[in-house]
Amino acid sequence: MKNQKILIIGLVWPEPNSSAAGTRMLQLIGLLQQNGCEIIFASAASYSEFAFDVTQIGVEKVSIVLNDASFDAFVKTLDPHMVLFDRFVTEEQFGWRVAENCPNALRILDTEDLHFLRLARQLAFNEKREFSIHDLFSDTAKREIASILRCDLSLIISETEMDLLQNEFKIDASLLHYLPFLVAKIDEGVIETWPDFLGRKDFIFIGNFLHEPNWNTVQYLKETIWPRIRKLLPDVSLQVYGAYASQKVLQLHKPSEKFFINGRAMFATTVVKNARVVLAPIRFGAGAKGKLIEAMQCGTPSVTTTIGAESMHGNFAWNGIIANDPDEIAEAAAELYQNETLWKQAQSNGLAIVNNRYSKQIFGQKVIDTMLEIQTNLAIHRRRNFIGSILQHHSLASTKYLSRWIEAKNK
C-alpha cells in the first residue's frame, strides 16, 4: 500500500486517553503508516482539549462540515485511494458523497463494535429480561447492516460479531474482516516494569463515562458489588477512573466506604499497573473491552462477566476470574486479591492472551493483504456485492421523498 493516500473520516477526534475507540483508531493509523500510506484525518466533530494531535505523528488534520457540498469538492480534489469510515454513522453521512465523487476509492468501515448488538442487550437489561435474538432486528440494525453492505470491507473487532453477521444476517464473508486490537508483544523487558503482587494495592475500574455500559458498571459496583467485597476485605479501596465524569458520577464518591471516583486518569497504564485487580462486572455491551486488554498489558488480573470477556480470550484461560452472580463476583474478587499464587497464574494467562490473540504483527499484515486483494479486484468484488450496489442507489429513497414533497406541496 506504499504511497497510497488514505482519508479517515472520524466520528470524533481520537482520544486514546478517554476511550478504547481512540486507541483503536491510533492503532489503525499506525498500521497504515507502517505500510507507507499518507493519512488525512477529517472530522465534523468539534475539537476537544483531550483529543490527540494527530499532526504529531505526521497525519494531516482537516475539519469538514456535515450536509454540505464543500465536502464533495474536498474529497474530489483529494482523490484518495481508500476512505475509512469511523463507525456506521459516519458512513451514513459521508459514504454516498465518497461514492459519487471518488467511485474508485476503496470504502472501509471500522465498526468499533456492533452498535445494534450493544443497544439490543441494553434494552433487554433495562426491561429486566433475558436478551433474545429477536432483539437484534431493530431499526439501528437495519442502518448498520446497510452501511456494512454499502462498504467494500468492514473491520469487526469481535469473533462473536463475525459469527452473528454471517449466520444471523447472512453477510458474505468477503465483506467482513476480523481485526482485534493490535498491540505489541509483551516481552521480558515489559514484564520487568510491572510491580509485583505485594507492590500493588486496591481494586480499579477505568472507563469513559459517556459509554453507557461503563456508567452502568460503576452503578452496579457502588450499589451491589462493592458492599459485598467490603465485608470480605474491609481495608481495601476501589479506585474508579474515567473521562467525562458528570455530577451523577461524582456524587458516588464515598471515601468513608473506600469507594473513590477519581475522574480522568492522565496516565491510565500507571494507575492500572499499580492496582492489584481490575474489577469490570459489565452487564451489557458489545465488541472487545479495551480496559481488559490494557489490564493484561499492565500485568493486572481482572474479574469480569461473560459479557466482559466475550470473544477476548478464545481457548486461553482468562486473565483472572469470570463470574456473573453478585456473590460469586465478590468472592472471586476477594480470592484473586488475596491469593498470590492464583494472581500470578492469572497474570501469566493474560500474557498468553495478548501475545497470541492481539499481535499487531500477525493481524496487521492479514488486514493489509485483504485490502490490497480487494483493491486489485475491486470491480469484481463490487459486482459480487450487488445488494450493496442497490443500497447505494439513491433513487430508492429519492422516489419516497419526492412523493412526500409532492404530497406536501399539493396540500
Question: pLDDT by residue (tens digit) across 144-181?
Answer: 999 999 999 999 999 999 999 999 999 999 999 999 99
Q: Are 284 and 122 in contact (CB under 8 A)?
A: yes
> Do 5-182+360-410 and 188-357 agree at the fold level?
yes
β-strand partners of 302: 278, 320
401 pLDDT above the threshold of 80? no
327 pLDDT above the threshold of 90? yes
HSE-up of residue 147 (Cα within 13 Å, Cβ side): 27
| CATH class in words for 5-182+360-410 | alpha beta
pLDDT in tens, 20-49: 999 999 999 999 999 999 999 999 999 988
DSSP tag of 253? -
340 falls in which pLDDT band (50, 70, 90)? very high
pLDDT in tens, 244-254: 999 999 999 99
For residue 395, the model assigns a pLDDT of 57
Percentage of the chain surpassing pLDDT 70? 98
For residue 140, the model assigns a pLDDT of 97
Question: In angstroms, how far apart are the furthest CA atoms of the chain?
Answer: 78
396 pLDDT above the threshold of 70? no
For residue 60, the model assigns a pLDDT of 98
Mean pLDDT to the nearest integer, 273-295 = 97
CA dihedral defined by 245, 249, 251, 256, rounded to 10 degrees? -100
For residue 258, the model assigns a pLDDT of 98
279 falls in which pLDDT band (50, 70, 90)? very high
| CATH class in words for 188-357 | alpha beta
Number of other residues whose CB lies within 10 A of the CB of residue 7: 26
Mean pLDDT to the nearest integer, 322-328 = 98
- Residue that has been written with the C-alpha cell 482485534 in this structure: 180
Burial class (CB in 10 A: 0-12, 13-18, 19+), 95: buried
400 falls in which pLDDT band (50, 70, 90)? low
- Residue that has been written with the C-alpha cell 455500559 in this structure: 213
- Residue that has been written with the C-alpha cell 465524569 in this structure: 245
Closest to 123 (Cα-Cα) out of 140, 108, 109: 140
56 falls in which pLDDT band (50, 70, 90)? very high
Rounded distance between C-alpha atoms, residue 129 and residue 123, angstroms: 9
**Segment (H or E) for 63:** strand 60-63
Strand order in 277-280's β-sheet? 259-261, 238-241, 203-206, 277-280, 302-304, 320-322
For residue 404, the model assigns a pLDDT of 72
Question: Which residues touch 377 (CB under 8 Å, ≥6 apart)?
Answer: none
Mean pLDDT to the nearest integer, 209-215 = 94
Q: Which residues of 27-64 are buried (b: 16+ CB within 10 A; e: fewer)?
A: bbbebbeebebbbbbbbbeeeeebbbebeeeebebeeb
pLDDT in tens, 99-155: 999 999 999 999 999 999 999 999 999 999 999 999 999 999 999 999 999 999 999
325 pLDDT above the threshold of 60? yes
Q: What is the residue extent of each domain of the chain?
A: 5-182+360-410, 188-357
Q: Are 73 and 79 in contact (CB under 8 A)?
A: no
For residue 399, the model assigns a pLDDT of 64
- How would you classify the pairing of strands 5-10 and 38-43? parallel
Rounded distance between C-alpha atoms, residue 107 and residue 82, angstroms: 6
- How would you classify the pairing of strands 277-280 and 259-261? unpaired
Number of other residues whose CB lies within 10 A of the CB of residue 220: 17
Rounded distance between C-alpha atoms, residue 394 and residue 388, angstroms: 12
Task: Compute the Cα dihedral for 290, 296, 298, 303 and give only its sign.
Answer: positive
